[in-house]
Amino acid sequence: MGKIEEFQRERDRLNALVLSRANLEIKRFFSLDSQVYRGGSIPVKYKELLGLVASLVLRCDDCVTYHIIRCHREGISREEFNEAMAIALVVGGSITIPHLRRAYDAWEELQRTSP
Amino acid sequence: MGKIEEFQRERDRLNALVLSRANLEIKRFFSLDSQVYRGGSIPVKYKELLGLVASLVLRCDDCVTYHIIRCHREGISREEFNEAMAIALVVGGSITIPHLRRAYDAWEELQRTSP
Amino acid sequence: MGKIEEFQRERDRLNALVLSRANLEIKRFFSLDSQVYRGGSIPVKYKELLGLVASLVLRCDDCVTYHIIRCHREGISREEFNEAMAIALVVGGSITIPHLRRAYDAWEELQRTSP
Amino acid sequence: MGKIEEFQRERDRLNALVLSRANLEIKRFFSLDSQVYRGGSIPVKYKELLGLVASLVLRCDDCVTYHIIRCHREGISREEFNEAMAIALVVGGSITIPHLRRAYDAWEELQRTSP
Amino acid sequence: MGKIEEFQRERDRLNALVLSRANLEIKRFFSLDSQVYRGGSIPVKYKELLGLVASLVLRCDDCVTYHIIRCHREGISREEFNEAMAIALVVGGSITIPHLRRAYDAWEELQRTSP
Amino acid sequence: MGKIEEFQRERDRLNALVLSRANLEIKRFFSLDSQVYRGGSIPVKYKELLGLVASLVLRCDDCVTYHIIRCHREGISREEFNEAMAIALVVGGSITIPHLRRAYDAWEELQRTSP
């Protein structure tokens, strides 16, 4: 099982746990978190890039992996991925580099396993 | 050995290492870090919730786990836990969700192992 | 006009602007932001302290001022205020001190103007 | 003189100061900071939205104002602005709200002064 | 009155307020905050540069101004200042640039008023 | 294989991956990231301490480990290490403690394996 699949299984397991235990406000937040990435005036693909860059500058590996999977599904090209990563790196600085490295690792795994 | 126990062992091992090597200022900081959670006008239980919410919005898994263990010892209910988590989630945003997930996982382990 | 009153007027003006322009998701977020501070298993007073400590460790002056006003209305004592500030300071470090200073300034203004 | 114009004058004054005093590495960084927003596989307009969302979740008023000016020049619509703000708000949480309020204020000023 | 002098007066006023109102733990933290910058194996001058770079990457204007004043008193040269700023800029990214600009402004004021 | 060696291997593997895939701007950033730590008016040893303290207050384990390895190579003494850690701890607060613990663990491994 690759790292991406392992990530998704653990994420699904814990999401199910949270939603079975959480109160109404937490559930509403999770719902809102889905709504904002739906297509509107900004196409889904660019919304996912917004989520990806926000996740990298805030340095959250799980959030980065999640948005990379979604970007991949939206058919984002390597050039687009590189350009978004370059913006995130310049905005967030060298402190984001360990997360950037893992982002490229996840991106490569997706190219290999579901090109 | 569960995740909570593993966390505590590693934390104890490294605390012992730091305190055997550190200088006076670092030891004073560690001492101050204990003092501020002692009962006063704010009861211990709410001080632990303050520590928990601060740890979640700052997105530190180890700090979250530590304060969940302490909250559990103080007899915090699931409703109180949920309400504190909801505040932290709204203040800190979706970037805290991976840590929130692991917080619920730790909380569940504590309910199972020392209900 | 004191700093607190000035803060509240500008906050009201801009909240009205945002809510007249924003989309549904942003309005839902603002609504959720009110809901999580309502009384439940954790009394309102302690929820406001949670909001205050979270705001200080995240170093947001406006959020700190807002929660100090609410804490003051909930009748929080100087001792409780000090204990919450001490936790925030130890968690967040000396980088929070400029915000802590302004928090004490706001607290004093509230004591003078509406004791 | 409006807030936007005041912001731009002070920014220009200080940029000139930094570039007259800084060393080669700092100048290279400033150059790189321009390069990453140039059009490529991702159109300029979306790169500016990436910069805007990154700036809001990192809570930097000056960076937010700068990218709002650039987004306005790229002809971004109110709907696109709202959708990007909604993503930033959900990712970054209520701690971003004071900056979101000032972002809407800057956006309104731009609509009034250069519609 | 220049910006530096204004900063120092307000800082002194608020420090006096905090120390007259705060509890023992807060006073101990303020004391510890002085102790760690005293000369030891690392000379004072480099400790001030550590404080300056930490303040810039954490993006706190007041902390940056404070450490620039102290660096200036320790006789730090423009080259040393530039090299420390370059490290902070690369580590912290473009999001630090507004603070870097104000840092250069404060540095220039100190050169003019007490060369 | 110790943790330090494992860290270095994974870091080398991922750096090679990033540099084989990234665009020009990302490569320029990586180059700039090396340049700022070269000796100048501030000796290399103190530049590494600046990188270490910046990494700890920003709470990045990989960055901390990297700069500890470099500090060790520059012959930094335990006293200097302790003094830098104390500054980082006071600036960044107790939220840095889990990273501080792992920093001492890495430091000890380096003393054992290459004293």
Give per-residue pLDDT as tens, F1-44: 799 999 999 999 999 999 999 999 999 999 999 999 999 999 99
3-state secondary structure labels for all residues of chain F = CCHHHHHHHHHHHHHHHHHHHCCHHHHHHHHHHHHCCCCCCCCHHHHHHHHHHHHHHCCCHHHHHHHHHHHHHCCCCHHHHHHHHHHHHHHHCHHHHHHHHHHHHHHHHHHHHCC
What chain D residue is nearest to A33 in terms of C-alpha separation? Answer: D90
Which of E23, E29, E62 has its CB closest to that of C83? E23
User: Which chains form contacts with chain E, at 3 or more CB pairs under 8 Å?
Assistant: A, B, C, D, F
Interface of D with E (CB under 8 A): 11, 14-15, 17-18, 21-23, 25-26, 29-30, 33, 54-55, 58, 60-63
Whether residues F84 and E32 touch (CB distance < 8 A) is answered with no
Whether residues A90 and D49 touch (CB distance < 8 A) is answered with no
Looking at chain E, the whole-number percentage of residues with pLDDT higher than 70 is 100
Interface of C with F (CB under 8 A): 57, 89-96
Q: How far is C-alpha B34 from the geometric centre of its chain's CA atoms?
A: 13
Whether residues E104 and D17 touch (CB distance < 8 A) is answered with yes
Question: 3-class SS at C61?
Answer: helix
pLDDT at B115: 81
Report the pLDDT averaged over residues C19-25: 98
Average per-residue pLDDT for chain F: 97
Question: 3-class SS at F17?
Answer: helix
Which of C59, C90, C101 has its CB closest to that of E29? C90
Q: Chain D contacts of C54, Cβ < 8 Å?
A: 95
CA distance C52 to chain B (A): 9
pLDDT at E115: 81
Report the pLDDT averaged over residues F94-111: 98
Q: Chain E contacts of B32, Cβ < 8 Å?
A: 25, 28-29, 32
pLDDT at A13: 98
Whether residues B17 and F98 touch (CB distance < 8 A) is answered with no
Whether residues A94 and F63 touch (CB distance < 8 A) is answered with yes
Interface of C with E (CB under 8 A): 59, 78-79, 82-83, 85-86, 89-90, 94-95, 97-98, 100-102, 104-105, 107-108
Query: Which band of pLDDT confidence, cut at 50, 70 and 90, is reported for residue F95?
Result: very high
pLDDT tens, position by position, E82-113:
999 999 999 999 999 999 999 999 999 999 99
Whether residues F14 and A102 touch (CB distance < 8 A) is answered with yes
Query: Which band of pLDDT confidence, cut at 50, 70 and 90, is reported for residue A68?
Result: very high
**Could you tell me how many CB contacts below 8 A there are between chain C and chain E?**
54
Residues sharing a CB contact under 8 Å with residue B58, sequence separation 6 or more, in sequence order = C57, C58, C91, C92, F95
Q: Chain A contacts of F63, Cβ < 8 Å?
A: 94-95, 97-98
What chain C residue is nearest to F88 in terms of C-alpha separation? Answer: C93
Q: CA–CA separation, A91 vs E87, rounded Å?
A: 15
Place of tokens 């540099």: F19
Closest CA to C8 of C73, C76, C62: C62
CA distance B113 to chain C (A): 24
Whether residues E89 and A94 touch (CB distance < 8 A) is answered with no
Whether residues F98 and B60 touch (CB distance < 8 A) is answered with yes
Q: Chain D contacts of C61, Cβ < 8 Å?
A: 98
pLDDT tens, position by position, B24-62:
999 999 999 999 999 999 999 999 999 999 999 999 999
- The answer to whether residue A66 scores a pLDDT higher than 90 is yes
What chain A residue is nearest to D57 in terms of C-alpha separation? Answer: A54
Question: 3-class SS at F36?
Answer: coil
pLDDT at D115: 81
Report the pLDDT averaged over residues A59-87: 98
pLDDT tens, position by position, F44-81:
999 999 999 999 999 999 999 999 999 999 999 999 99
Q: Chain D contacts of B92, Cβ < 8 Å?
A: 93, 95
Q: Chain C contacts of E58, Cβ < 8 Å?
A: 95
What distances in angstroms separate CA E53 from CA A41, A69, B25, D28, E88, one per listed residue?
41, 36, 20, 19, 5
Report the pLDDT averaged over residues C14-43: 98
Q: Chain F contacts of E32, Cβ < 8 Å?
A: 90
Contact E88, E71 (CB under 8 A): no
ipTM over 0.85: yes
Question: 3-class SS at F48?
Answer: helix
- The answer to whether residue C1 scores a pLDDT higher than 80 is no
Q: Chain C contacts of F96, Cβ < 8 Å?
A: 93
Closest CA to F59 of F29, F35, F32, F94: F94
Query: Which band of pLDDT confidence, cut at 50, 70 and 90, is reported for residue E1?
Result: confident
DSSP track, chain E: --HHHHHHHHHHHHHHHHHHH--HHHHHHHHHHHHTTS-SSS-HHHHHHHHHHHHHHTT-HHHHHHHHHHHHHTT--HHHHHHHHHHHHHHH-GGGHHHHHHHHHHHHHHHHH--
CA distance A25 to chain C (A): 7
pLDDT tens, position by position, C52-110:
999 999 999 999 999 999 999 999 999 999 999 999 999 999 999 999 999 999 999 99
Whether residues F54 and E87 touch (CB distance < 8 A) is answered with yes
Place of tokens 């000016």: D69
Question: 3-class SS at D71?
Answer: helix
Place of tokens 């103007």: C113
Which of E83, E102, E108 has its CB closest to that of D23? E83
CA distance D29 to chain F (A): 8
Q: What is the pLDDT along chain D (115 residues), one digit of tens a residue?
A: 799 999 999 999 999 999 999 999 999 999 999 999 999 999 999 999 999 999 999 999 999 999 999 999 999 999 999 999 999 999 999 999 999 999 999 999 999 998 8
Interface of F with C (CB under 8 A): 57, 89-96
Which of A79, A89, A101 has its CB closest to that of F14? A101
Q: Is the pTM of this model over 0.90?
A: yes
DSSP track, B52-87: HHHHHHTT-HHHHHHHHHHHHHTT--HHHHHHHHHH
Query: Which band of pLDDT confidence, cut at 50, 70 and 90, is reported for residue A33?
Result: very high
pLDDT at E76: 98
